Amino acid sequence: MNALPQPITHLERSFIVRRRGMALLAALFPIAFLCSSFVLRRTDFQTSISAYYWTQDLERNIFVGVLCAIAVFLLLYKGYTWIEDRVLDLAGLAAAGVAFFPMDKHGGCGSSGVSLHGAFAVIFFSSIFYICIFMSETTLKQIQDSGKQAWFRNAYRWCSGIMVASVALAVASRLLPGDLVQALCERGAVFWFEAVGVWAFSAFWYIKTRKLDSSVSWVPFRRKRAG
């Protein structure tokens, strides 16, 4: 007779809920600005997520608040190894840097070149990419089922690949010749590149949390039925 899985303790569940909360917060981050522009009609649709910092107080507070919340989580979260812990700290500091060093207010659709804001964004996504690819093996080895192990490995690779591709495209679109930058900017390309990168980050943390507790439904706050 197979042994029943050990129940999740209160502390473990609290930890899991915090991780899922961060994933949900990140997923809603771009959606909040889309709602501001297309549902509530508070702001014009901006050329990038970062540009919402310069729209209205509420949107600025959402931008800074969400990034600071993610930064605090990453700084307090302890990785499985010393290296993973340091990389997560770097990602947390970079997230705070993105919040506190906003993009140029008058950057618009012009080629803004290199900035602290952009550098922190690249460091943040590069750190998470490193965690996805090189640090996930530590916990993947704990999965006995080879099929599940392969599924999670592929999921991490997809998330990291999408994050890197979206950031690379966002950066490249700012460094192109002026007429191409203008054309892409007017179509909101940078906003969508950034949004996809954020959603990939959210998916990574949600999948990583799912791996910790398979008894929890994929739907937040809903227990999976037994049997």
Residue 71 covered by a domain = yes
The encoded tokens of residue 131 equal: 């965690």
The encoded tokens of residue 135 equal: 């640090």
pLDDT, residue 141, reads 76
Residue 184 covered by a domain = yes
Full domain range(s) for residue 21: 11-212
The tens place of each residue's pLDDT in the chain, 227 residues long, gives 444 445 567 777 777 778 888 889 999 999 999 999 999 999 999 988 999 999 999 999 999 999 999 999 999 888 888 898 999 999 999 999 999 999 888 766 655 557 898 889 889 988 988 888 787 777 787 778 888 888 888 998 899 889 888 888 877 777 777 777 778 877 888 899 989 999 999 998 888 887 766 555 445 545 554 44
Dihedrals φ, ψ of 176, to 5°?
-75, 170
Q: Report d(CA 107, CA 67) in Å as an integer.
A: 21
Total domain count for the chain?
1
Residue 1 covered by a domain = no
Residue 223 covered by a domain = no
Residue 5 covered by a domain = no
Residue 79 covered by a domain = yes
Under 8 Å between Cβ of 191 and 31: no
Confidence (pTM): 0.82
The DSSP secondary structure of 103-136, one letter per residue, reads PPTT-TTS-----HHHHHHHHHHHHHHHIIIIIT
Q: Strand, helix or coil at 223?
A: strand
Q: Report d(CA 224, CA 227) in Å as an integer.
A: 9
Question: CATH number for the domain including 30?
Answer: 1.20.1070
Under 8 Å between Cβ of 47 and 191: yes
